[in-house]
Structure 1
Amino acid sequence: MRAAPTLRRRLAHLLAWPLLAVLALGAVYDYVQALRRAQDDQDLALARVAIALASRLDVDADDGLQDDFGLHLSRTVAAMQRAEPRDRLAFFVRRADGSAVGGDAGLAKWIQASPADRAVFADASTGGEAWRVASYAHESSLGPLQILVAETTHRRERLARRLMLDTLVPNVMLVMLALGGVLAGVRVAMQPLERVSRRIAARDADDLGPVPVEGLPGELTPFAGTINQLLDRVRQSAAHEQAFLSNAAHQLRTPLAGIQTQLELAEGEAPPALRERLGAVRAALRRLARSTHQMLALARSGPQAVQADELEPVDLASLLEAAANDWLDTALAAGVELQFDAQPVKVRGSPWLLREALANLVHNALDHAPRGSTVLLGCGPAGEGARLTVEDQGPGIPADERARVLERFYQRPGRQGGSGLGLSIVNEVARRHGAALSLADGADGRGLRVSLDFPSRG
């Protein structure tokens, strides 16, 4: 699937094309105006040649009528030709009666009528070569004269090319600078949106707090407000879902406890033939009750839980001591020895959430530990923080499955009877406390060690 163009690219295109068009039109205008001024200057120079010839005729006429005017004019034009040898300069002068005074008579066809002492210009061509022609009418001592001066246009063409380069190079540089300025301006204008994007991307998946709108341009404020409205609706929906799950689990837990009590009484009074079946029903009911309790704990441990507990100092050593009292009978029944290595250390946390996490870890350890083995519960300082560990001597968990067992309702292949929620609850509790949950091999590579590393002490 083709990626959609970014907003930055769209803005750059929308601004760049009109800018390029304006600059291109400006370059054409600059070239045309510069060429026109250059041609006007060269036409003026050609007109001055005609005036110089007229002045020469006036001088020669004062010296004598028998002078060879054509020879004098040819010398004058030859001297002017040396100023620009790459172009040919030609002239023709005739009287009012059509007789030639001097110059190239073949140019007579190019003479145009013009006001007295004012040049008229035209373009001409002969032999495949372009010429610029100036016609000049002059009242001299010899009578009315028509003077024509013609020059090839090589210098004009070179000047046009040079002007094109002189206007093209700075305009190209101006285009590049303008495009750079446009891109830089778009980049600066997009920074507030990119900051919001980075903030949203850096959030935890469960963080549904509003997007900050401080510092955003006015055009982006409605967009951020719409996102905040969506986040608020998602937050409310998540809260309703958590409330439903919590209430459902709570409503189920009470009748299940009553049914379990009645089954225990019925099992004691039942004939031996029914006791085995009632025992199986009671075991299944106990698993159902535990799953219900775990669902309630999972619902309340999430960041969107209806009841958010304030964190307070919790003594982990006392927590382990309480766990010993709660799980001693279960450990004895399973033939597993509970050992403790509790050093006094406090963390800031929710007491009931930490008890729930520890209860799930101990239950899993006792459930997997073989008879005659040991389950070790420990706590103590770890750097600037604290660590809580539960280690068993069971089969352990392969390294490639340790990430998956933290998922909700995941059960390892061949493992039955559990709900797949125990380590998920521990993981949620760790996230609520900013702690790191890690799974590793136990001592001597045997069993499983689960550690909760808290970043700071209470």
Structure 2
Amino acid sequence: MASERPAPSLRRALLAWLVLPLIVLVPLATALLYLLAVQPAMDSLDRALTDTAVALAQILDERAGQAVLPLSAQTAHALRADLVDEVVFAVGDAQGRLLGGERALLAQDPRLARGDWRFFDGQLRGRAMRMVAHGASCGAQTCPILVAESLGKRDAAARAVVLAAAGVSLLLALCLALLARVAVGRGLRPLQQASQELERRSLQQLEPLPLQQLPREVAFFGAALNELFGRLRQAVGAQRSFLDDASHQLRTPLAVLLSESAQALEQPHPPELHARLQRLHAAAERSAHLSHQLLTLARAEGAALERRGSACIDLVQLVTEAAADWVRPALAAGQDLGFDLQPAATQGEAWLLRELLSNLLHNAQQHAGRGAQVTVRTRTEGGQAVLEVEDDGPGIDPADRARAWDRFHRGSMASGPGTGLGLPIVQHIAQLHEGHAELLAGPSARGLCVRVRLPRAVR
């Protein structure tokens, strides 16, 4: 069987569509910022080269029709001075003869017209340089002036611009990602609140969801849920009507059958019919009990959907009222029915809890046997209300206890008539009240103790 794929995350999908474009936009923004910032920096450094060229053009002179460069050693040193880069210059005459500076640099003269400027990259003595060439006026002639500078400041400026552009882009991307996360979280908050509201709801709460809290785009989903809740409420009403009708229709013929079979046993009859009448009466009793338990189970499940609220139930009073109905059957079964009642209260439905107690007492009466001692206890323990019914009968085999809560299952040690629905009804009613039932060994490791733990009610 193929494993089920996990459901896609709406939050993750929204974040992906918002954040993934940043993977493309951040490099583009970095490149754009780099281009916008690095060019002005390079232009500024190029202007510094033109300053040196202009200074050389001011020194350049013409004597007797020949261009001369009256440049002192101190001036030449000053023109080459730089804390970071190596600065080299070369000045030639119209015939290409060197008037001052580096001959190797003059060899890269691009032969410009008078007044023209050109910036270019080149190599000088195997080193990359940024160069500027200028066609300077020297009398009636045009003399080339070239100034070259190594790339130290340019490389440092480019690195600084790259780091600044990348830093700004990453900071912007992080801010946008954070804002996207916050925006998605705030956008999905109504859905989360609606989901939490549904999780908190039990089968007793089928009121419509407040659609005004949902975004317009998912309000249709909330409306569909409200329609479903409405259909469930209608189904609960139909189930309740059916159960009431079924209870009425079944109770009368079964009661007649029980009464007629009991009277037939009491009245004179042929001996050969006695065993048959006993079986008929036992089947009628079992059918009446089974129909009562099935209807109780169905009504309990219907009550889970129908119940709007619950009352504070005093378990001591509940057991006291039930005692009158069970003392006489216990005496008839030859059992000693006792009570150990301490204050305990819970929130719930009184009729459901009475059915729970009736099933426990009926089970004890049917299976504990004659001479058994049956004790009903109530108390408060660990913040919970506890109801126990304990007997010293044969009990339930430990191997059967796990399945004792299954419907229609009867243990290997079960004796007497039974339907296998008593304990499942007990567990179901306990769970409807947000509690649970457990099976324990009876006194001196004999018998059975059914302990029901329910939330404690504070009165």
Structure 1: gaps (5+ residues): none
Residue 224 of structure 1 corresponds to: 222
Q: Secondary structure in 2 aligned to 1:120?
A: strand
Q: What amino acid sits opposite 1:51 in the alignment?
A: V
C-alpha distance in structure 2 between counterparts of 1:73 and 1:120, whole Å? 27
Q: Does 1:443 align with 2:443?
A: yes
CA contact under 8 A between 1:334 and 1:366: conserved in structure 2?
Answer: yes
Write the deviation string for residues 264-313 of structure 1: whole angstroms up to 9, x where unpaired.
33343431111102211221221111010111122222354687598667
Residue 374 of structure 1 corresponds to: 373
Q: What amino acid sits opposite 1:30 in the alignment?
A: L
Cα separation, partners in 2 of 1:191 and 1:348, compared to 1, 3 Å: closer
Q: What amino acid sits opposite 1:284 in the alignment?
A: A
Say which is worse superposed, 253-262 or 221-230, in terms of deviation.
Answer: 221-230
Say which is worse superposed, 22-31 or 405-414, in terms of deviation.
Answer: 405-414
TM-score for the superposition, normalised by structure 1: 0.82
Say which is worse superposed, 358-367 or 345-354, in terms of deviation.
Answer: 345-354
Matches within 5 A, 1:27-176: 27-58=30-61, 69-70=68-69, 72=71, 76-84=75-83, 86-95=85-94, 100-106=98-104, 107-114=106-113, 116=115, 118-125=116-123, 129-141=127-139, 143-176=141-174
**Count of aligned pairs between the two proteins:** 452
Q: What amino acid sits opposite 2:38 in the alignment?
A: L
C-alpha distance in structure 1 between counterparts of 2:96 and 2:379, whole Å? 125
Cα shift at 1:31? 0.8
Residue 279 of structure 2 corresponds to: 280
Cα shift at 1:255? 1.5
Q: Secondary structure in 2 aligned to 1:405?
A: coil
Say which is worse superposed, 364-373 or 66-75, in terms of deviation.
Answer: 66-75
Cα shift at 1:187? 3.1
Cα shift at 1:16? 0.6
C-alpha distance in structure 1 between counterparts of 2:211 and 2:402, whole Å? 37
Say which is worse superposed, 14-23 or 249-258, in terms of deviation.
Answer: 249-258
C-alpha distance in structure 1 between counterparts of 2:277 and 2:36, whole Å? 107
Say which is worse superposed, 343-352 or 364-373, in terms of deviation.
Answer: 343-352
Residue 338 of structure 1 corresponds to: 337
Residue 22 of structure 2 corresponds to: 19
CA contact under 8 A between 1:12 and 1:183: conserved in structure 2?
Answer: yes
CA contact under 8 A between 1:90 and 1:150: conserved in structure 2?
Answer: yes
TM-score for the superposition, normalised by structure 2: 0.82
Cα shift at 1:393? 1.2
Cα separation, partners in 2 of 1:74 and 1:14, compared to 1, 3 Å: farther
Residue 424 of structure 2 corresponds to: 424
Cα shift at 1:176? 3.0
Q: Secondary structure in 2 aligned to 1:147?
A: strand
Cα shift at 1:100? 4.7
Q: Percent identity?
A: 34
C-alpha distance in structure 2 between counterparts of 1:88 and 1:309, whole Å? 92
Q: Secondary structure in 1 aligned to 2:143?
A: strand
C-alpha distance in structure 1 between counterparts of 2:368 and 2:244, whole Å? 31
Cα shift at 1:36? 0.9
Matches within 5 A, 1:392-403: 392-397=391-396
Q: What amino acid sits opposite 1:455 in the alignment?
A: R
Cα separation, partners in 2 of 1:123 and 1:284, compared to 1, 3 Å: same
Write the deviation string for residues 161-191 of structure 1: whole angstroms up to 9, x where unpaired.
3322232233333333432332343334333
Write the deviation string for residues 106-132 of structure 1: whole angstroms up to 9, x where unpaired.
53453242452x522233346654333
Cα separation, partners in 2 of 1:344 and 1:123, compared to 1, 3 Å: closer
C-alpha distance in structure 2 between counterparts of 1:309 and 1:34, whole Å? 70
Cα separation, partners in 2 of 1:345 and 1:191, compared to 1, 3 Å: closer
Q: What amino acid sits opposite 2:223 in the alignment?
A: G
Write the deviation string for residues 3-48 of structure 1: whole angstroms up to 9, x where unpaired.
3442221111101122332232111011112221121112111111
Cα separation, partners in 2 of 1:151 and 1:339, compared to 1, 3 Å: closer
Cα separation, partners in 2 of 1:150 and 1:389, compared to 1, 3 Å: closer
Residue 3 of structure 1 corresponds to: 6
Write the deviation string for residues 398-444 of structure 1: whole angstroms up to 9, x where unpaired.
67765653444343345474222223333344455566645433333
Q: Secondary structure in 1 aligned to 2:375?
A: strand
Residue 456 of structure 2 corresponds to: 455
Cα separation, partners in 2 of 1:114 and 1:123, compared to 1, 3 Å: farther
Q: What amino acid sits opposite 2:230 in the alignment?
A: D
Cα RMSD, aligned residues only: 3.7
Q: Secondary structure in 2 aligned to 1:44?
A: helix
Cα shift at 1:387? 5.0
Q: What amino acid sits opposite 1:443 in the alignment?
A: P
CA contact under 8 A between 1:345 and 1:457: conserved in structure 2?
Answer: no
C-alpha distance in structure 1 between counterparts of 2:83 and 2:178, whole Å? 44
Q: What amino acid sits opposite 1:44 in the alignment?
A: R
Q: Secondary structure in 1 aligned to 2:122?
A: strand
Cα separation, partners in 2 of 1:413 and 1:270, compared to 1, 3 Å: same
Cα separation, partners in 2 of 1:420 and 1:207, compared to 1, 3 Å: farther
C-alpha distance in structure 2 between counterparts of 1:84 and 1:380, whole Å? 93
Structure 2: gaps (5+ residues): none
Q: Secondary structure in 1 aligned to 2:90?
A: strand
C-alpha distance in structure 2 between counterparts of 1:194 and 1:448, whole Å? 46
Cα separation, partners in 2 of 1:306 and 1:31, compared to 1, 3 Å: closer
CA contact under 8 A between 1:361 and 1:423: conserved in structure 2?
Answer: yes
Write the deviation string for residues 53-94 of structure 1: whole angstroms up to 9, x where unpaired.
011125xx5xx7699945627764443222156435132322
Q: Secondary structure in 2 aligned to 1:15?
A: helix
